[in-house]
Structure 1
Amino acid sequence: MYSSLVEGHMRELYASLSEKDRRRYAAVEAEKLGHGGVKYIADLFGCHEDTIRRGQQDVERLPDDEAAGRVRVKGGDEVLLALQSSVWSPPWKRSSSSTRPARR
C-alpha cells in the first residue's frame, strides 16, 4: 500500500516511539488504510493485531485519557522502588528462619 521508502521511514519512526505511542501510531495508520489496514500495519511493524486494536481504544479515549503523561500502568514502579529501598529485603535474605516455608 505504501512505497518501500515510506514503509522504511514508518518503521524507523515506529521504533523511536514509546510503547504507548507505538500502539497509537499503528492504530492511526491502520485507520487511514481502512479495510485490511490492521493486518497490513501489524505485518509492517511486526506487532500483534491486538496491539493495534488496543491502540484504537487508546485513541478513542484521548481527550479523557487518565494516563496521558504515563507510558506504563500506574504503580508499575513500586516493585522497583521497593527493591532499591534499604529497608526492604527479599525473603531469602531475611535473617529470621521463621519466615521461610517448610521444606518437604
Structure 2
Amino acid sequence: MKTLIIAVGLGLATLSGLSACAVTSGQSTVGQYVDDATISTRVKAKFAEDKQVSAMRIEVETLKGVVQLSGFATSQAEKDRAGEIARNTKDVKDVRNNILVRAGN
C-alpha cells in the first residue's frame, strides 16, 4: 500500500509539471514533452515498487525517449537494478545511467 501511495504521488508530481506544457530544449513538440514525462513517471513508479531501488534518491529525466538516471545509490547492485528497470520500461529507447554509488546513504 505504501509503494502504491508513493507511486501515485510521484505520478501526480510529474503530471503537475505538465500544466504549463512548456516544450524544453531538444523536444520538438508538446506531444514529445508529454511522452517523455509519461516515460519518466513509469520509471519512477517502477522504482517505487522495487525493494532494491530507492525512488527518492534517484532522479529520472527523459528526452526523446532517452532516460537519464542521476542521484545516489548505496551499492553497485542498486545502480545496476535501476538501469535494468529503466531499460525494460515501455517506450524507452536508451538509458544513460549516471547514478553515483555512495555507501552509507
Q: Normalising by the residue count of structure 1, what TM-score does the alignment of the two structures yield?
A: 0.27
Instruction: Work out which structure has the larger RCO, using CA pairs closer than 8 Å and 6 or more positions apart in sequence.
Output: 2
Greater helix fraction, Structure 1 or Structure 2: 1
Task: Name the structure with the higher strand share.
Answer: 2
Larger Rg: 1
Normalised TM-score (structure 2) = 0.27
